């Protein structure tokens, strides 16, 4: 059975290779191959899951050693997969949601000339993401980490003819490099400290390392997580990444890749548990991002960017939960999975709306769409209810658990985190209600597109609505299923461990508070956007609104603090380089060239000269041989 | 009536000469090649003119192929490892290095012969295909006789038996176990080469000049070798490499004569240095390299390719055997000197190549630099060094032959267009050919994934582990300098605009295409999957005595 594990990765990888190398012959049906291989991978995942369920909790984790990449004494780089409860959860999420989104893309990308290439990249992404979550060591994880970065870059910039898409891809790539640097440094530190970078030995001996070193490793891992999961201060790329085709936003930039940071922190729990300072940094990052993303989400008129702000904020919840240690690990992953359902569903809904509205993304140009796109409205609506935490739906359970865990942290810290989480819940309800109302309710504010065509909104084809419906089921039921008898917690506990915190508030109080916050936020949004007409041109707005529209000045900040000094530094270095180093190098080259030109003259072409030089050479050779003896 | 002396012999009372014992089976690679060469002479004598070329090609390929098969069989029987030993009363050794290098030489020769037979590059004369060799070698350049011979479409098919004789000498050279046999092999391989250098169809004067230079300087070098042989014999009282080693290290029985001569170390050391001169000339090491560019440029390009690949292989084989079998006891004397030679060779070869404007001269200087790189492996003085040199020679032979074969294809109305300015923009006109040449250049430069990298890595590693780290540093720096001119040609081919009246790339027959194709395959194969051949080389790296 374990031999299926490599096949999980091999199926989509083969698809990517086939589609990229296959050429135009595969243009007509290549996308079906890709979808079938994604589904095959999902089937393998289900089979492995069923097999795992058949074993008792202690024997569920298995490893499958493929081969040793660099077998050097003291440096063992293995290609080995580890399948345990945590990774199978991801495998099912990635391949399941991935297959649905492949299917959706068949409809969404039907008219794109480069469709085959798009599906090749999607398959490549699946393979890389599976390597990331299946790796049994940090080096292989890094391979997957870079692989998803590459796929993300290729897919954000998929419409590379648009300068904005090309720039966005580059931005995502560069910001991610900062995080990748953190991961590589963390791996080096681990190797120096533990002599290995495989999970098992590192976690087993983590206790022997000093707290300072563990904190350093933890902070570097956090930096990596910030880059990949768009957490403050490396959040700036996610909004721009929405330039990619919508299925990409749904799969990579909502459901799976951006959650890799959460996976990394939860997986490295053994390190973070011993480094409380690093944990504090994690919760701070999570709490700040939770609010940052939510505020940005309130101000955006672009439906995808509003959802992107929301993604950032929701991942903030997960990171915060992961930073709480064993109290929160399982809940971070639980929210990750439910979020995967409802956020992917909403992105697909947004794509469906754009599909019907001539690729319009400005919500101020929507309005009253519920009658025209009933399926999209229903599925998006269920996702909406899930994310704001409407009682009984997925998000209600998973977010509630995180808020409880935040209070359970105890002390002042617990209160601050808990209140942040509650505030976040209120703001979430506000901006999501805003999105919902602007898009599906109220007056039609439709505008003709650039060519002057009036939009004729219509429901999307089956290949797009079916995945949305499936995801909507997940949005509704997954949370309830997970908390029923604490099944999800018990499932993950052998891997992540679990501890009950000491909450100052009873669970029911927290639930009540959260629901009240949610209702207040939603009511405010309804008051602002549902009961009064929405202007087509955005009003000037308050200072905070204007700042939030500019992503809370993240790009201005980066520009002033990083880009400009960086450019100046580079210019200085170039100056030194061209004056100093290049001068030396060019001088050296010129000198060698000069020697060469002089030496050439020895080559006169006269055989007598050659003979003389041979004779001289022989004399020197004989003399030096004799000399060697005498010294 | 029975003659008296016969009676005496029968009685065993008179002095008798024992019949030498010859192991024909184990000498068969050489015997097959020499036999084929003699057959080639007969072909020249008895076959009609028009039938000669194809008959010669057939005889040569059969002879070389048969000899290669014999080498493979001998190696499979273990003559390279467990059954290694001395043949023909100790004159010839059969062991790993000998068989390995014989195999390399034979394979290179097969490819070289294929390029000889190329008949599609020169324009047809009176409907006859002609090759790269003079119509009639004896005709005076520019004279009446030459014009007639050319008009008749004659060809110098003697090139094939000459090549076979040279190959025979080359097979013997790395296997020669006494100094006189080595000298004979040296002459057997050199004399045909002198002639072959003079046989170019175009630019015959340069070709003849090259041949005369090569001959004069070669004779000079041979004289040094012979002188060295005499001095060493004077010291050790033997010509056999193994016995010389015994005398040098003092394990052999001291006869009264030896007791006198071995007091004078100068005899030995001067002899050693002069033997080295003779062999260093053949490998083209500085300061005995000055013939290389002139001869490489003047000789017909297929011959240059053969000479550059096979001669170097054979000569390094002899050099290895001389130093490893006869003079391991003197390594503290010859190592420092060879250090100097290696450093000079690498540096001068790389630096001088920078300013070359002719592809063939450029490749000549590059071959000088490579001789230096190979010498670093020789200096390692252990088995790993031998293995590295063997592998390097294998890799280098095929790259060199392929590169010169490519040179034959770039032509204008005056024949091969070897001036570098003619190569500008070749990548746009004929991307495949330029890509192949670029691959060979990258292999010369030692870029990973090509055989050149593996070979260079092997020799430098062996030298570094043998304690010659400074030498490796010089080697790496020289490689950096060398990379400049290799890459310059690539840049020229791919990033310059083609000349309006530039050369055209001729479409070769399958013969040259095969030679180039095999070169490409081996270059990539030894770069991507070198392990089998590295293992083979290290298995073969033990000399017998």
Cβ atoms of A214 and A271 within 8 Å: the answer is yes
With a cut of 50, say whether residue B2 has pLDDT above it.
no
Dist. CA B359–CA B406, nearest whole Å: 11
Which pLDDT does position B19 carry in this prediction?
81
pLDDT given at position B129 = 87
CA distance A405 to chain B (A): 55
Q: Please say if the pLDDT value at position A22 is more than 60.
A: yes
Under an 8 A CB cutoff, do A614 and B355 touch? Answer: no
Q: Tell me, what's the pLDDT at B48?
A: 92
B261 vs A452: CA distance, rounded Å: 108
Q: Chain A within 8 Å of B484 (Cβ-Cβ)? A: yes
3-state DSSP call for residue B67? helix
Q: Which of A602, A612, A621, A631 to mutate to test the interface with B (most CBs of B within 10 A)?
A: A621
A606 CA: distance to closest CA in chain B (Å)? 9
Distance CA B475, CA B472 (A): 5
Q: Tally DSSP H helices, then E strands, for chain B.
A: 23, 5
Residue whose C-alpha is closest to residue A278's, from A340, A215, A355: A215
Asked if A593 is an interface residue toward chain B (Cβ–Cβ < 8 A), one would say yes
Return d(Cα B179, Cα B183) in angstroms, integer: 6
Provide the residue range defining the domain that includes B126: 20-540
* pLDDT value of position B257: 82
B333 → closest Cβ in A596, A620, A629: A629
What 3-state DSSP class applies to A82?
strand
Q: How far apart are CA B377 and CA B319, in angstroms?
A: 12
- DSSP secondary structure of B373-393: HHHHHHHT-SHHHHHHHHHHH
**Which band of pLDDT confidence, cut at 50, 70 and 90, is reported for residue B467?**
confident
**Cβ–Cβ gap B217/A614 under 8 Å:** yes
pLDDT exceeds 90 at position B20 = no
The pLDDT of B99-112, averaged and rounded, is 96
pLDDT tens-digit profile of B55-90? 999 999 999 999 999 999 999 999 988 898 999 888
Check whether B8 has a pLDDT greater than 80: no
Confidence of residue B9 (pLDDT cuts 50, 70, 90): very low
Contact assignment for B220 to A625 by CB distance below 8 Å = no
pTM of the model: 0.68
Q: Which residues, other chains included, contact A379 with Cβ-Cβ below 8 Å and sequence gap of 6+?
A: A345, A348, A349, A465, A468, A469, A471, A472
Contact yes or no for A625 and B287 at CB 8 A: no
CA separation (Å) from A94 to A32, A45, A251? 18, 10, 8
Phi, psi of A135 (to 5 degrees): -55, 145
Residues of A in contact with B355 (CB under 8 A): 593, 596-597, 600
Closest to B163 measured CA to CA, from B56, B72, B65: B56
In a domain, B198, yes or no: yes
Residues in A touching B212 (Cβ below 8 Å):
607
Q: What is the mean pLDDT of residues B332-348?
A: 93
List chain A residues with CB under 8 Å of B344. none
H/E stretch holding A68: strand A62-72
Is B124 domain-assigned? yes
Cβ atoms < 10 Å from Cβ of B94: 24
SS3 string, B100-167, reads HHHHHHHHHHHHHHHHHCCCCCCCCECCECCCCECCCCCCCCCCHHHHHHHHCCCCCCCHHHHHHHHH
Q: Distance between CA B142 and CA A580 in Å, rounded?
A: 58
- B277 with A611: Cβ contact below 8 A: no
Q: Does A611 touch chain B (CB under 8 A)?
A: yes
Interface check B221 vs A, CB under 8 A:
yes
Query: Total domain count for chain B?
Result: 1
Closest chain B CA to residue A605: B294
Residue B142 pLDDT greater than 50, yes or no:
yes
Contacts of B213 in chain A (CB under 8 A): 607, 610
Per-residue confidence (pLDDT) for residue A73, from 0 to 100:
64
Query: How near does any CA of chain B get to the CA of A17, in Å?
Result: 21
Query: In which band, very low, low, confident or very high, does the pLDDT at A383 lie, cut at 50, 70 and 90?
Result: very high
Share of chain B above pLDDT 70, in %: 97
Which of A592, A621, A629 has its CB closest to that of B276?
A621
Question: Is B4 domain-assigned?
Answer: no
Element (H or E) spanning B464, and its range? helix B451-465
**Chain A to chain B Cβ contacts (< 8 Å):** 86
Range name among A254-268, B124-138, B175-189, B512-526 with the lowest pLDDT average: B124-138
Whether residue A152 is predicted with pLDDT greater than 90 in this model: the reply is: yes
Residue B160 predicted with pLDDT over 80: yes
Q: Under a CB-based contact definition with an 8 Å cutoff, are residues A297 and A424 in contact?
A: no
For residue B223, the distance in angstroms to the closest alpha carbon of chain A comes to: 12
Q: Tell me if B109 is assigned to some domain.
A: yes
Q: Is A498 exposed, middle or buried (0-12, 13-18, 19+ CB in 10 A)?
A: middle
Chain A residues with beta carbon closer than 8 angstroms to that of B274: 618, 622
Task: Tell me whether strands B85-87 and B410-412 are parallel, antiparallel or unpaired.
Answer: unpaired
CA B353 to chain A, closest CA, distance in angstroms equals 8
| Whether the predicted pLDDT of A72 surpasses 80 | no
- Chain B: give the shortest CA distance to residue A120, in Å: 27
Answer for the pair A314, A324: CB distance below 8 angstroms, yes or no.
no
Half-sphere exposure of B534 (CA within 13 A, CB side): 19
Q: Which residues of A are less than 8 Å from B293 in CB distance? A: 603
- For residues A341-345, average pLDDT: 94
Q: What is the pLDDT of residues A215-255, one digit of tens each?
A: 999 999 999 999 999 998 899 999 999 999 999 999 999 99
Of A488, A507, A508, the residue nearest A498 (C-alpha) = A488
CB proximity list for B414: less than 8 A, separation 6 or greater: B202
B341 touches chain A (CB under 8 A): yes
Which of A607, A610, A622 has its CB closest to that of B273? Answer: A622
Residue B13 lies inside a defined structural domain of this protein: no
Closest-CA residue of A relative to B341 is A621
The number of angstroms, rounded, from the C-alpha of A243 to the middle of its chain's C-alpha atoms is: 15
Task: Name the band, by pLDDT with cuts 50, 70 and 90, for residue B218.
Answer: very high
Q: What is the pLDDT of residue A587?
A: 82
Binary contact (A600, B348; C-beta < 8 A): no
The alpha carbon of A380 is separated from its chain's Cα centroid by a whole number of angstroms, namely: 23
Q: Highest-confidence range of A53-67, A520-534, B212-226, B321-335, by mean pLDDT?
A: B212-226
**Within 13 Å and on the Cβ side, how many CA atoms surround B510?**
0
Residue B293 is nearest to which of A593, A596, A603, comparing CB atoms? Answer: A603
Cα–Cα distance measured from residue A323 to residue A300, given in angstroms and rounded to the nearest whole number: 29
Contact criterion met (CB below 8 Å) for A38 and A15: yes
Residue from B206, B217, B224, B287 whose CB has the most chain A CBs within 10 Å, to mutate = B287
Residues A8-22 have a mean pLDDT of 91
At B4 the pLDDT is 47
The pLDDT score that the predictor gives to residue B14 is: 57
Vertex A587, ends A582 and A592: CA angle to 5°? 130
> Chain B residues with CB inside 8 Å of A610's CB?
213, 217, 290-291
Of chain B, the percentage scoring pLDDT greater than 90 comes to 71
- pLDDT above 50 for A325: yes
Mean pLDDT, chain A, rounded, equals: 91
Higher per-residue confidence, A458 vs B370: B370
Question: Does A192 contact chain B (CB < 8 Å)?
Answer: no
Per-residue exposure over A583-618, b if at least 16 CB sit within 10 Å of its own CB, e if not: eeeeeeeeebeebbeeebeebeeebeebbebbeebb
Residue B192: inside a domain, yes or no? Answer: yes
Q: What is the DSSP string of A211-251?
A: HHHHHHHHHHHHHHHHHHTT-TTS-THHHHGGGS-HHHHHI
Domain membership of residue B10 (yes or no) is: no
pLDDT above 60 (res A541): yes
Report the pLDDT averaged over residues A132-146. Answer: 94
Q: Distance between the two ends of chain A, CA-based, in angstroms? A: 72
B73 vs chain A: nearest CA distance in angstroms?
36
Question: Among B223, B269, B329, B337, which would you mutate to test the A interface (most chain A Cβ atoms within 10 Å of its Cβ)?
Answer: B337
Rounded to a whole number of angstroms, the distance from the CA of B354 to the nearest CA of chain A is 7
Q: How far apart are CA A518 and CA A384, in angstroms?
A: 12
Q: Nearest CA of chain A to the CA of B259: how many Å?
A: 20
pLDDT in tens, A89-106: 999 999 999 999 999 999
Query: Chain B within 8 Å of A601 (Cβ-Cβ)?
Result: no
- Residue of B460, B258, B500, B248 whose CA lies nearest to B375: B460
**Does residue B63 lie within any of the structural domains?**
yes
Average pLDDT over residues B5-34: 76
Q: What confidence score (pLDDT) does residue B543 get?
A: 92
Q: How far is A598 from chain B (nearest CA, A)?
A: 9
Beta bridge partners of A198: A137
User: What's the confidence (pLDDT) of residue B6?
Assistant: 47
Residue A277 burial (C-beta neighbours within 10 Å; 0-12, 13-18, 19+): middle
Tell me the pLDDT band of A444, cut-offs 50, 70 and 90.
Answer: confident
Q: Which residues of A12-21 are buried (b: 16+ CB within 10 A; e: fewer)?
A: bbbbbebbbe
DSSP-assigned letters across all residues of B180-202: HHHHHHHHHHHHHHHHHHT-BSS
User: A48-62, A305-319, A322-336: which range is least confident on average?
Assistant: A48-62
In chain A, which residues have their Cβ closer than 8 Å to the Cβ of B353?
596
B499 touches A: beta carbon within 8 Å: no
């Amino acid at each position: 059975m374990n031999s299926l594990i490599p096949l999980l990765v091999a199926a989509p990888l083969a698809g990517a290779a086939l589609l990229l190398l296959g050429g135009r012959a595969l243009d007509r049906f290549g996308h079906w191959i890709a979808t079938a291989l994604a589904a095959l991978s999902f089937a393998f995942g289900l089979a492995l899951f069923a097999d795992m369920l058949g074993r008792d909790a202690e024997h569920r984790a298995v490893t499958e050693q493929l081969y040793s990449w660099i077998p050097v004494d003291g440096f063992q780089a293995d290609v080995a997969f580890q399948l345990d409860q945590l990774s199978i959860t991801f495998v099912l999420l990635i391949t399941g949601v991935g297959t649905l989104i492949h299917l959706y893309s068949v409809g969404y990308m039907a008219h794109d000339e480069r469709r085959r290439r798009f599906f090749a990249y999607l398959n490549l992404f699946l393979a890389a993401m599976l390597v990331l979550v299946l790796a049994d060591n940090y080096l292989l994880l890094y391979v997957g980490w870079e692989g998803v970065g590459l796929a993300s870059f290729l897919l954000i910039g998929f419409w590379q003819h648009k300068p904005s898409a090309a720039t966005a891809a580059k931005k995502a790539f560069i910001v991610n490099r900062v995080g990748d640097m953190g991961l590589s440094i963390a791996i080096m530190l681990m190797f120096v400290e533990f002599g290995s970078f495989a999970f098992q030995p590192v976690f087993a001996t983590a206790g022997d390392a000093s707290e300072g070193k563990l904190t350093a490793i933890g902070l570097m891992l956090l930096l990596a997580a910030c880059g990949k999961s768009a957490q403050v201060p490396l959040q700036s790329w996610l909004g721009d990444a929405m330039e990619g085709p919508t299925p990409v936003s749904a799969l990579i930039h909502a459901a799976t890749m951006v959650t890799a940071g959460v996976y990394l922190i939860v997986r490295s729990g053994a390190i973070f548990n011993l480094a409380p300072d690093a944990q504090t940094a994690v919760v701070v990052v999570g709490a700040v991002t939770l609010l940052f993303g939510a505020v940005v989400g309130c101000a955006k008129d672009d439906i995808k960017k509003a959802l992107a702000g929301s993604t950032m904020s929701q991942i903030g919840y997960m990171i915060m939960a992961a930073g709480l240690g064993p109290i929160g690990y399982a809940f971070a992953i639980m929210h990750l999975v439910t979020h995967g359902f409802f956020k992917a569903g909403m992105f697909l809904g947004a794509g469906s709306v754009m599909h019907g509205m001539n690729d319009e993304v400005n919500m101020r140009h929507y309005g009253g769409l519920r009658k025209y796109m009933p399926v999209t409205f229903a599925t998006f609506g269920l996702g909406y209810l899930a994310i704001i935490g409407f009682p009984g739906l997925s998000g209600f359970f998973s977010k509630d658990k995180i808020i409880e865990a935040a209070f359970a942290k105890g002390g002042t810290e617990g209160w601050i985190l808990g209140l942040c989480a509650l505030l976040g819940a209120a703001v979430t309800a506000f901006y999501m209600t805003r999105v919902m109302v602007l898009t599906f309710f109220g007056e039609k504010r439709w505008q003709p597109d650039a060519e002057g065509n009036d939009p004729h909104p219509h429901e999307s084809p089956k290949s797009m609505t079916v995945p949305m419906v499936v995801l909507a089921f997940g949005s509704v039921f997954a949370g309830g299923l997970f908390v029923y008898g604490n099944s999800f917690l018990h499932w993950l506990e052998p891997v992540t461990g679990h501890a009950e915190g000491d909450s100052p508030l009873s669970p029911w109080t927290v639930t009540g508070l959260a629901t009240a916050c949610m209702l207040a936020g939603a009511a405010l949004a309804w008051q602002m956007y549902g009961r009064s007409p929405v202007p087509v041109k955005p009003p000037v707005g308050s200072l905070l609104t204007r700042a939030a529209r500019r992503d809370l000045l993240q790009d201005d900040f980066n520009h002033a603090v990083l880009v400009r000094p960086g450019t100046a530094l580079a210019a200085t270095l170039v100056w030194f380089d061209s004056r100093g180093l290049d001068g030396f190098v060019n001088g050296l080259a010129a000198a060698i060239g000069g020697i060469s030109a002089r030496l050439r003259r020895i080559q006169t072409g006269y055989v007598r000269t050659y003979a003389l030089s041979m004779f001289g050479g022989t004399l020197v050779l004989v003399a030096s041989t004799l000399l060697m003896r005498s010294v | 009536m029975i003659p008296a002396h016969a009676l005496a012999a029968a009685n065993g009372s008179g002095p008798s000469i024992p019949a030498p014992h010859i192991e024909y089976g184990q000498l068969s690679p050489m015997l097959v090649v020499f036999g084929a060469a003699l057959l080639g002479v007969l072909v020249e004598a008895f076959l009609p003119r028009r039938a000669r070329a194809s008959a010669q090609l057939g005889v040569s390929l059969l002879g070389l192929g048969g000899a290669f098969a014999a080498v493979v069989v001998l190696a499979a029987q273990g003559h390279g490892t467990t059954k290694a030993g001395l043949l023909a009363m100790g004159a010839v050794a059969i062991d790993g290095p000998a068989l390995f290098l014989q195999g390399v030489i034979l394979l290179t020769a097969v490819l070289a012969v294929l390029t000889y037979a190329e008949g599609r590059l020169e324009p047809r004369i009176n409907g006859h295909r002609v090759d790269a060799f003079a119509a009639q070698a004896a005709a005076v350049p520019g004279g009446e006789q030459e014009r007639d011979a050319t008009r008749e479409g004659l060809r110098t098919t003697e090139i094939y038996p000459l090549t076979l004789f040279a190959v025979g000498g080359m097979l013997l050279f790395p296997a020669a176990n006494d100094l006189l046999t080595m000298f004979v092999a040296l002459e057997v391989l050199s004399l045909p080469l002198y002639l072959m250098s003079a046989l170019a169809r175009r630019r015959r004067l340069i070709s003849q000049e090259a041949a005369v230079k090569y001959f004069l300087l070669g004779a000079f070098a041979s004289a040094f070798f012979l002188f060295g042989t005499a001095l060493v014999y004077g010291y050790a009282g033997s010509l056999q490499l193994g016995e010389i080693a015994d005398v040098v290290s003092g394990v052999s029985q001291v006869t009264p004569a030896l007791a006198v001569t071995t007091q004078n170390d100068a005899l030995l050391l001067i002899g050693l240095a002069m033997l080295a001169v003779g062999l260093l000339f053949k490998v083209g090491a500085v300061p005995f390299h000055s013939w290389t560019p002139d001869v490489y440029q003047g000789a017909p390009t297929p011959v240059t390719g053969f000479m550059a690949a096979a001669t170097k292989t054979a000569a390094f084989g002899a050099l290895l055997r001389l130093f490893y079998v006869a003079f391991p006891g003197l390594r503290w004397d010859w190592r420092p000197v060879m250090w100097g030679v290696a450093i000079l060779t690498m540096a001068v070869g790389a630096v001088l190549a920078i300013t070359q404007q002719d592809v063939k001269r450029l490749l000549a200087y590059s071959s000088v630099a490579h001789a230096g790189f190979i010498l670093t492996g020789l200096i390692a003085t252990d088995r790993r060094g031998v293995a590295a040199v063997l592998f390097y020679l294998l890799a280098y032979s095929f790259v060199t032959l392929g590169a010169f074969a490519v040179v034959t294809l770039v032509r204008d109305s005056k024949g091969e267009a070897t001036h570098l300015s003619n190569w500008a923009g070749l990548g746009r006109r004929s991307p495949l050919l330029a890509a192949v040449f670029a691959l060979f250049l990258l292999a010369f430069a030692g870029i990973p994934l090509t055989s050149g990298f593996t070979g260079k890595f092997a020799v430098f590693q062996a030298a570094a582990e043998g304690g010659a780290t400074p030498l490796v540093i010089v080697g790496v720096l020289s490689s950096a300098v060398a990379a400049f001119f290799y890459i310059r040609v690539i840049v020229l081919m791919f990033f310059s605009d083609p000349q309006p009246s530039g050369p055209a790339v001729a479409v070769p027959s399958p013969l040259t295409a095969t030679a180039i194709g095999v070169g490409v395959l081996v270059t990539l194969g030894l770069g991507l999957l070198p392990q089998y051949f590295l293992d083979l080389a290290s298995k073969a790296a033990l000399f017998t005595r």
